[in-house]
Amino acid sequence: MENIIRIAVQKSGRLSDDSLSLIKECGIKFYNGTGKLKSTSTNFPIEFLFLRDDDIPGYVADGVADLGIVGENELVEKDKDVSVLKKLGFSKCRLSLAIPKGQTYPGVSYFEGKNIATSYPKILSDYLKSQNINAEIHEISGSVEIAPSIGLAEGICDIVSSGSTLMMNGLKEVEQIFNSEAVLIANKNLNKEKLAIVDKLLFRMNAVQTGKSNKYVLLNAPNESLDKIISLIPGMRSPTILPLAQEGWSSVHSVLSEDQFWENIEELRAAGAEGILVVPIEKMVI
């Protein structure tokens, strides 16, 4: 087991598809047929454990797995000693306090002396402490949203994404207490061999992420406006300029972030750019 790392990913749920896609985009091949709890890559020294997300922080802290992909909400709630290597940008959500729609909300003092149902007692109690609020935390493991309507609690603290579950259950969001996204975590005592493999994996993940946030842009421009256009889309080192078959025109190729593209599009067109193509980048190594 020296020269292979083990990563724990969620078996099935809101983290699994994006976790596995990211690994595949890193060029790592493996088989994950339904019901499989373990799998080994055929072309990278990595083994997969497919687990419930609740167990991932603990397995990584104990060294059963070297790495894991988990939501920050679960990580902070489980309070395990692991390193966070990277934010992964998917499974974004927030942990919020919500109360019945009909109630008026004077501010967080509303919760003083009340019962709050949640699956996140640690994050909630830390928050309440920081706000100097004394409330009763009622821990339940699922279907938290129905707690107020069955008289179990006066408010809830649960994960919100679109907000439609709260709405369907007659609740309104009153405080956002924690923002979360998927993160790559690691055991704190990895040996040199394992760290070298983790570095390789991180290099690939960074290339995939940088590629996603950048676009390859191609456009045609009259030669007299090339200086202006180059200043608008400077690219990695500098843009590629190729002559078009038509005299006096060039094709300009560059790489830039999507935001930068939208910021500069009017000026590019005003400078005479036309036939503008924006193409996704699969991987990018700077």
Where on the chain is the footprint of Zn ion (CB under 5 A)?
53-54
Residue 97: HSE in the Cβ half-sphere, 13 Å Cα cutoff: 23
Question: What is the rounded distance in angstroms from the CA atom of residue 250 to the CA atom of residue 221?
Answer: 5
Strand arrangement of the beta sheet that strand 46-51 belongs to: 38-40, 46-51, 5-10, 67-71, 182-186, 83-87
Candidate list 19, 41, 180, 250; residue touching ligand PRT; CB under 6 A:
180
- Select the binding partner of residue 100 from ligand PRT, Zn ion, none (C-beta < 5 to 8 A, by kind): none
Closer residue to Zn ion in complex, CB, 74/175 = 74
Size of the chain in residues: 286
Candidate list 40, 130, 149, 161; residue touching ligand PRT; CB under 6 A:
161
Closer residue to ligand PRT in complex, CB, 73/209 = 73
- Sign of torsion over alpha carbons 77, 78, 83, 86: negative
Question: What is the rounded distance in angstroms from the CA atom of residue 57 to the CA atom of residue 187?
Answer: 9
Question: What is the rounded distance in angstroms from the CA atom of residue 120 to the CA atom of residue 127?
Answer: 11
Candidate list 89, 163, 222, 235; residue touching ligand PRT; CB under 6 A:
163
User: Taking CB under 6 A as the rule, does residue 223 contact ligand PRT?
Assistant: no
- Select the binding partner of residue 114 from ligand PRT, Zn ion, none (C-beta < 5 to 8 A, by kind): none
Q: Is 6 exposed, middle or buried (0-12, 13-18, 19+ CB in 10 A)?
A: buried
Write down the least CB distance from residue 8 to Zn ion, Å: 13
Question: What is the rounded distance in angstroms from the CA atom of residue 172 to the CA atom of residue 155?
Answer: 10
Closer residue to ligand PRT in complex, CB, 39/220 = 39
Per-residue x/- mask for ligand PRT, residues 45 to 74, rule CB under 6 A?
A: -------xxx----------------x-xx
Write down the least CB distance from residue 117 to ligand PRT, Å: 12
Per-residue x/- mask for ligand PRT, residues 11 to 50, rule CB under 6 A?
A: --xxx-----------------------------------
- Select the binding partner of residue 180 from Zn ion, ligand PRT, none (C-beta < 5 to 8 A, by kind): ligand PRT
- Mapped onto helix, strand or coil, the DSSP state of residue 173 is strand
Write down the least CB distance from residue 181 to ligand PRT, Å: 8
| Torsion angle (degrees, nearest 10) of CA 76, 127, 93, 58 | 10
Supply the DSSP string of 267-284, one letter for each residue: HHHHTT-EEEEEEE-S--
Which residues are at the interface with ligand PRT (CB under 6 A)? 10, 13-15, 52-54, 71, 73-74, 91, 93, 158-165, 180
